[in-house]
Every structure is written in structure tokens, then in C-alpha cells.
Amino acid sequence: MDSQYGVEIDRRGPTRLYPFLRFFRGFERNPAVQELFGRATLRVLRGLKVEFFSARFGYMGTSDVDGHLIISNHYLRDGKFRDLYLDIVHELCHVNQFRRHRPLFYPKLSYVDAPSEIEAYRFTVREGRRIGMTDRELIEYLRVEWISPVEHRRLARHVGLRGKSSRSRARRRRLKR
């Protein structure tokens, strides 16, 4: 027994990881993804793993331990297709950062000022424009529940977006870093 309570707890709980391409097909031919990984695109995506979780909070993120994707089953099922697509592109940018040994998290900075987030959002905004989104739609896309309106405007400026968005609450949510 490991404790004064007469119980033992095995702290090596397994994480179930699945192949990315089992659930996300066609990304290996996507121009934005090919821009990220170049000739290694298929190899990277074949090696990429995805972990799904069932809590009703959280959305999507990238592990800073091994670079796998972490995705909410609820968001995967209920999220708007375009938002899911852009979030996957965003997270694949983080996978690329991880592969280049760049930090994903900056605890001393605001989420919207973190270099990893600015780079990933700039990349995602470029992809949003490529698929025909307007600046107003992209500004709305940047609206997430864990940043204030002031931070939202600052993030939009960081990624080169100007203009107004509606004053509505966040319609899309992702796993907070």
C-alpha cells in the first residue's frame, strides 16, 4: 500500500491515441498543410496522433509533451465544419512549431500575445482568406470565450485584421492553452 488510507493508485493512466488520418482525410493534399510540412507532409500526418476527450468543456489543442492533437468529442460532433477545419489548420501549425522545438506555451504572456498563437492565427487567417472568408468573418472566428474584448481586438491587430465585428459573444470555443 502506498498511502495511509490503505489504497493504492496506479498513476500511469494510459492515453488512447489514434492515427490522425483515420479521422481527418484529405489534409495531406491541402495546400496550407503542405505549406507547413513541405515534402514531409504525408510522413508527418501518418505519424501524428489524436487523443479524444469527452468532457463538455474544451475544444482542441496540441500536446506540448509529444505534439499530438487533443480534441473534444463534443466539439468534433457539434462544431461548425469551417471552424473545425480552421482549428485543425491552426493546431497543425502548433504541431509544426513543436517539431521545430519551439515553445507552444508562454505562461508569462497573455494568450493573444504569445508568439506561438500569433504565428498560428496568422497562418489560419491566411487560410481563411484562401477559402473565401471576409475580414469580418475572420474577426468573428478569432472571438473565443477566454479572451476579453480588448484582447480580441489586440489579437486581430496582431494578425493583420482591421475592422469591426459584431458585439456577440463567442460562438466558437477551443481548448484554452
Per-residue pLDDT tens over the stretch 97-152: 999 999 999 999 999 999 999 999 999 999 999 999 999 999 999 999 889 999 99
d(CA 110, CA 117): 10
Residue 4 within any structural domain of the chain? no
What range defines the domain where residue 30 resides? Answer: 10-80
Do 76 and 21 have their domain in common?
A: yes
Whether 128 maps to a domain, the answer reads yes
CA distances from 148 to 90, 138, 142, 145 (A): 20, 17, 11, 8
pLDDT value, residue 2: 60
Residue 45 has what pLDDT?
Answer: 98
Residue 156 lies inside a defined structural domain of this protein = yes
35 belongs to a structural domain: yes
- Both 24 and 70 in one domain: the answer is yes
Residue 1 lies in a domain: no
Residue 27 gets which letter from DSSP? G
Residue 90 has pLDDT above 70, yes or no: yes
User: Is residue 135 assigned to a domain?
Assistant: yes
pLDDT category at 7 given cuts 50, 70, 90 is: confident
76 and 14 inside one domain = yes
Is residue 70 located within the same domain as residue 113?
Answer: no
Q: Is 16 in the same domain as 75?
A: yes
Domain assignment present for 2: no
Q: How many domains does the chain have?
A: 2
| Same structural domain, 113 and 166 | yes
**42 falls within a domain:** yes
- For residues 19 and 57, state if they share a domain: yes
pLDDT digits (tens, 9 = 90+) for 13-63: 888 999 999 999 999 999 999 999 999 999 999 999 999 998 777 789 999
32, 65, 80: which is the final residue of a domain?
80
Contacts 24+ apart (CB under 8 A), 52-55: 52/16, 52/18, 52/76
pLDDT at residue 164, rounded to an integer: 64
Q: Which of 65, 80, 95 is the last residue of a domain?
A: 80
17 Cβ neighbours under 8 A, 6+ residues apart: 49, 50, 51, 68
Do 109 and 76 lie in one domain? The reply is: no
